[in-house]
Amino acid sequence: MHLIAAAQMVSTADKAHNVEAATRLVRRAAELGARLVGLPENFSWMGPEPERPAAAETLEGPTLSRMAQLARELRVTLLAGSVLEAGAPGGRLYNTSVLFGPDGARLATYRKMHLFDVDVGDGATYQESAAVAPGTEVVAAQTEVGRLGLSVCYDVRFPELYRRLSRDGATLLAVPAAFTLMTGKDHWEVLLRARAIENQAYVLAPAQGGRHSANRQTYGHSMVVDPWGLVTARASEGEGLAVAPVDPEMQARVRRNLPCLQHRRLD
């Protein structure tokens, strides 16, 4: 049995401050015994839309290099929730989640497939695709805690992605996010618990949680959900950690006693 941790942040346009906050939270999670630590979407930068291109980095840039070093130093598996990755077609960026192993090696790279182009009624219209290009690959990777399926935020509304991940052997699902306050208060927990129940998988959901600027506020409530759909750890608002165990025997029992993954009709 291993502990996993979802880190909650309130990132701003100050990248150095954000990276320091992320480092502090990962260190704290490791001190508590977590073997897998997840950071939220946009953990290194959440600033004004016109500044997005300037905030982007490559996969070998300073932010992810720092996270690789941190994973290696603490000997933990570290999910760098998402960063803005430079180099997408048409001058756009990718919203990219990167998983590092305890040796600091990059285990997986996932580029967010579903982009947040919506008007949720909070006074702001979101058009992620104006600057971000969608990824095309479904990604899972083996870790010491289990096989981890990667996703980012708005992806959680598309259950077919998680069906693919569970079919590919995922026993944990990562959902780093920056859910708006308007959608989060009604949908966040419901969607996470649904994805856990449908796939009989643990869900690790590190989130942004607080006020980032005068016109941007996120819901928070980072959490871990077990394969029965129960929330086993939860943060509230502001910086924090949600830490909970992963119990492979409990998960195997759930999948054996209620074998819905074997009953799927894919025809």
Provide the annotated active-site residues. Answer: 41, 112, 153
Backbone torsion region of residue 213, taken as left when φ is above 0, otherwise alpha when ψ lies between -120 and 50, otherwise beta = beta
Helix (H), strand (E), coil (C) string for 110-130: EECCCCCEEECCCCCEEEHHH
Between helix 15-31 and helix 62-74 the angle, nearest 10°, is 10
**Distance between CA 225 and CA 201 in Å, rounded?**
8
Pair of tokens at residue 187: 């949908």
Q: How many CB atoms lie within 10 A of CB 223?
A: 24
**Residues 177, 182, 183, 186: what is their CA dihedral angle, to the nearest 10 degrees?**
120
| Nearest alpha-carbon partner for 146 in 179, 181, 174, 109 | 174
> What sign does the CA torsion over 165, 166, 170, 174 have?
positive
**Distance between CA 201 and CA 252 in Å, rounded?**
10
Express the helix, strand and coil content of the chain in percent, nearest 5 each. 30, 30, 35
